[in-house]
């Protein structure tokens, strides 16, 4: 009985060790683009990580006047320019006379998106949100 238990235990330990040493998928295996949407002294800058059915934007936006806030909006677009998803930076992440970091994801049901449009916005707390300047970025090959 002890031999069977010891054999089973060593098999389980060996299997666990083999599983834990397997390489995990990482964000480094997905394409990454940088974005920079600058308007005067204000901006939104960061990276776009392109996954199979989503993208993640991580960056910083800046406002130089506490009375004029800035936020970031992104649109996932298909090859024809049709909107597939839209997301905004969180209200708590809006910059008003300062710089703030943000991160959010766009999710789509079909492979892609081939295009992401990133906009520096007025940081409005509710629609209508004014897009001050937008730039399109294509998925890297």
Question: How are beta strands 69-77 and 115-121 bridged, if at all?
Answer: antiparallel
pLDDT number for residue 13? 42
pLDDT number for residue 28? 61
List the end-to-end C-alpha distance of the chain, in Å, as a whole number.
58
What tokens appear for 111 in the block?
């492979």
Q: Long-range CB contacts (< 8 A, 24+ apart) of 39-46?
A: 39/120, 39/132, 39/133, 42/68, 42/70, 42/120, 42/132, 43/70, 43/120, 44/70, 44/72, 44/118, 44/119, 44/120, 46/102
- Please state, rounded to an integer, the average pLDDT across all residues of the chain: 84
What tokens appear for 46 in the block?
């960061």
pLDDT surpasses 80 at 14: no
Mean pLDDT along residues 118-138: 94
Mean pLDDT along residues 76-91: 92
Report pLDDT digits (tens) over 33-51. 999 999 999 999 999 999 9
pLDDT surpasses 70 at 10: no
Report pLDDT digits (tens) over 47-63. 999 998 999 999 999 99
Which residue in 21, 26, 23, 47 sits closest to 35, CA to CA? 47
pLDDT number for residue 85? 96
């Amino acid at each position: 009985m002890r031999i069977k238990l010891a054999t089973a235990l060593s098999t389980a330990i060996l299997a666990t060790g083999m599983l834990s040493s397997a390489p995990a998928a990482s964000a480094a295996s997905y394409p990454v683009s940088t974005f920079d949407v600058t308007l005067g002294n204000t901006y939104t800058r960061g990276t776009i990580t392109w996954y199979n059915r989503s993208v993640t934007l991580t960056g910083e936006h800046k406002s130089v006047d506490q009375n004029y806030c800035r936020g970031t909006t992104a649109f996932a677009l298909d090859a024809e320019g049709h909107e597939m998803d839209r997301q905004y930076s969180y209200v708590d992440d809006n910059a008003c006379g300062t710089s703030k970091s943000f991160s959010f994801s766009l999710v789509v049901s079909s492979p892609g998106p081939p295009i992401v449009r990133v906009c520096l916005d007025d940081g409005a707390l509710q629609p209508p949100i004014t897009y001050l300047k937008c730039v399109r970025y294509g998925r890297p090959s």
